[in-house]
Amino acid sequence: MDYVVARQRMVAEQLVRRGITHPRVLRAMATVRRHLFVEEAFWGRAYGDYSLPIGEKQTISQPFMVACMAEALELEEDQRVLEIGTGSGYQTAILAELGARVYSIERNRALALRARRRLEALGYHHAWVRVGDGSLGWKDKAPFDAIVVSAGAPAIPTPLIEQLAENGRLIVPVGDLQSQVLKKGTKRGMTVRWTDLGDCVFVKLIGEQGWNG
C-alpha cells in the first residue's frame, strides 16, 4: 500500500471536500503517518474515514474530526496547547506539526506510555505526555493559548476555562454518552463566547469534571 497516496486521498476526499481549508492543517494531515499510530493489523485501514481501536477500549479519532478540531484551535507557531485524551498520540503529532508546544494528558497509563514512546521515536520533541485526569487541566503549565478535549464531557469543565489565556480557544465535545455537540469557546476578559461546530460522537471523558468511570 502506498501510504503517501492514501494520505493525499484522505486529505482531498475526507477533509477538503468537507470544508477544511487551513493550508497548515491540510499539510500536517498529509504529513503525519497515521498508520504508525495503530497496530500493524490496522495499517491497511489507517486512512479510512473512521476511528479505529487502539487497545484499552479506546480509539484513535476519525481524521476529519482531528482536522476540524485542529483548524478550530487557530494555532500559531510556538503557542501552547493543552490536549486532553492523548490516546494514540496521533492528534498530538498533528498539533506538534502545526508548530505548537503540546502538553497532553491521558488517564490510561498504558496508552500514555505508548504514545510518549511513539512521539519521541518520531522526533516530536515539543510534545509532553503525562498520566492524569485531564478534566482538571494542567495547572502548573497554564495558561494555554488553546485547549482541546478529545473525549465527550457532560458539561464544560470549569478548570479548563480558568487555564485559558486571554483570547484562548477551548474546543470540547459536550453532551450525553451517545452523542455530543462540539463547542468552541473563546475567552475575552472574564467572559467566554461560545459557538457550536457540529454534532460528534466521542468516548467519554472520565474524571472529576467528567463522567464517573
Catalytic residues: 61
* Residues whose CB falls within 8 Å of the CB of residue 166, separated by 6 or more in sequence, listed in order: 187, 188, 189
Q: Are 149 and 36 in contact (CB under 8 A)?
A: no
List binders of ligand SAM among 40-69 (CB under 6 A): 58-61
CA distance 210 to 213: 9
List binders of ligand SAM among 109-168 (CB under 6 A): 111, 133-135, 150-151
Residue with cell 473563546: 186
Q: Which three cell numbers stand for residue 141?
A: 503549565
Helix 63-72 vs helix 23-31: crossing angle, to nearest 10: 140
Q: State the minimum distance, in angstroms, from the CB of residue 191 to ligand SAM.
A: 26
Stretch that binds ligand SAM, among 70-78, 163-171, 181-189, 202-210 (CB under 6 A): 202-210
Q: State the minimum distance, in angstroms, from the CB of residue 68 to ligand SAM.
A: 12
Q: State the minimum distance, in angstroms, from the CB of residue 157 to ligand SAM.
A: 9
Q: What residue ranges bind ligand SAM (CB under 6 A)?
A: 58-61, 84-85, 87-88, 90-91, 105-108, 111, 133-135, 150-151, 202-203, 205-207, 210
